[in-house]
Structure 1
């Protein structure tokens, strides 16, 4: 009995398509349909898919290039199962990925979607990193950006339909995850179940970078206003800092702006803590995630400050009971360097 739909859009993906398909077709969990939609490819992608004879494959071709969002929504409508696993045509799913994610969702019927850690590689497969993000910190950090790798996700069709599926053309996954997280529980499995290929030529990095940056900016501001009020606004450099792009704030060379930015983050954290009605709300986890983010931002800026500026920053931003400890650490590092 088919229990899961693996949804994979394809567009000019001939270089890595076979490896991606093989990683799905060799899963230890076998009760799935493999729904592949070619979005008007002009290379040999369609021929590669058609060369497979596995009966689990359902192949569709868009007559013209519709784009990712319409293609994904088409796939959700075509899916015959309640559970849908996302897959991209240049990534590699580990053999037990689907088994572990289906097992988790079956054991946790109140969870709408589950993701996993990913091993990030370059276009040619060279290792880049593994982000060891803790699932309990996702709720807080989803305010600022998405830690969730889109092709690691398995979600419930009904929950996705409740929020009108994918609704924007850029940063479509972040928007979906945010909307789902307003109504439903979600979880990130603490193990690597997919190799994620980070291409320097991908849409969000080159071809449509301006569009994706604008979408992220609008989503971030909307998220902050959800907690802090409709009229809440911040300088663009502060918003970029919250997304861990520190260059705009550093370029201003104003220590007061850095201090103000961190204090705004504290204010936002307080607003998130005060909005308790979300099903994913966990005050202890929010506080811990906020501390990690705050410490990360401060530590980045201190690397670019003089010893006296570091001391002043610490006095302004570090709780009194931690000041001596922090000063010793930063002064030691400064003198040593």
Structure 2
């Protein structure tokens, strides 16, 4: 029986979690797939673990040398015999119906080039860490600043990925590919949790290569902003960090005028995004996503200010119709805090 779907999983020294990842794919309710596993020069028992499986759907390839995840993924895409490719990582766990849900969605939506899903973030021992909540219609706006899609949850069309040049970045390769795809094609993030995303001490983007990935993403975000605002557009690094929800650099500047400028610059960027044609552009969704992001940033910044300065700051960055609501909410929270403090002391 010819496969209808390819599952692509690169492996590098993943022996500790590999069996759970492989099992989660082989036990899928959707069974008509080929499972391309590429070992990228592992020095642990990863290859032995893979070879212990006797399942004709597994196609194991061994890189002679360690060539990195970008080149390995591009190799796998070339090897795939189907148009639809589901990504998988060697330390994560796909839920049993993941492939069926995503395959059905892609069949029902032929114009969609990529579909992803929600995840549960877990630790090395499988303990629950968090579950992000993001609406699909807000992902397009936020993808300008942060890689809001989890790489091992995506299923994409091989031809679309090839058309945009495959994976091209050494670091933050997923963010780069998603950006290129979403300039030309529609995408969707399913509301269901379909994967447990494991964070380990070997996670490249969060531990081993954190500095390299962060530097790459800084450059990618600036490129993204220039796509909307013009090729010569530039803003301070602390603004980009703030939009990526790292507030420490901007706070450290201790300059409220810069904070105000950062918020107003975000408003300008939002307007530029609204004016740029894109298959994923939904005006009201962008406006709502921008409002949420704006308020999240303001709330994060002003908690470092005394009450009277918080009011002053909001007066300079908020429209008058929302200012009264913000001040009222701020005063209520302060009152609740004082009441709780008095109750505790009594």
Cα offset, 1:335, TM superposition: 4.2
C-alpha displacement of 1:167: 0.4
Per-residue CA deviation, residues 25-83 of structure 1 (Å, 9 max, x unaligned), is: 00000000000000000000000000000000000000110100000000000000000
Supply the distance in 1 between the matched residues of 2:334 and 2:318 (Cα, whole angstroms): 18
Pairing 1:45–2:46 present: yes
Q: Find out whether 1:316 has 2:337 as its counterpart.
A: no
Which residue is 2:344 aligned to?
none
1:159 has 2:160 as partner = yes
CA distance in 2, matches of 1:18, 1:12: 12
In structure 1, the partner of 2:291 is 291
Match of 1:251 in 2: 252
Gaps of 5+ in 2: 338-346
Say if 1:255 and 1:309, in contact at 8 Å, map to a contact too.
no
In the alignment, structure 1 residue 300 sits paired with structure 2 residue 312: no
How does 1:227-242 map onto structure 2 within 5 Å? Answer: 227-242=228-243
Give deviations 1:179-230, integer Å, cap 9, x for gaps: 0001100000001000000124321123222211111011000000001111
Q: Deviations over 1:86-134 (max 9, x none)?
A: 0000000000000000000000000001000000011221111111110
TM-score by length of 1: 0.98
| CA–CA distance in structure 2, aligned partners of residues 200 and 270 of structure 1 | 40
Cα distance in 2, alignment partners of residues 325 and 138 from structure 1: 27
1:205 & 1:104 partners in 2: Cα distance? Answer: 31
Distance in 1 of aligned mates of 2:160 and 2:324 = 49
Q: Which runs of 5+ in 1 are unaligned?
A: none
2:103 equivalent in structure 1: 102
Alpha-carbon distance in structure 2 between the residues aligned to 1:201 and 1:65: 16
Conserved? CA contact 1:116–1:191, under 8 Å:
yes
Q: Give RMSD over aligned pairs.
A: 0.9
Q: Which residue of 1 aligns with 2:114?
A: 113
1: CA distance between counterparts of 2:206 and 2:129? Answer: 16
Q: Does 1:29 align with 2:9?
A: no
Taking the aligned partners of 1:8 and 1:192, their CA distance within structure 2 comes to 20
- Which residue in 2 is equivalent to 1:68? 69
User: Bigger CA drift: 8-17 or 117-126?
Assistant: 117-126
Distance 1:27 1:136, change over 3 A: same
Runs of 4+ in structure 1 over 6 Å off: none
2:55 aligned with 1:54, yes or no? Answer: yes
Secondary structure at the counterpart of residue 15 of structure 1: helix
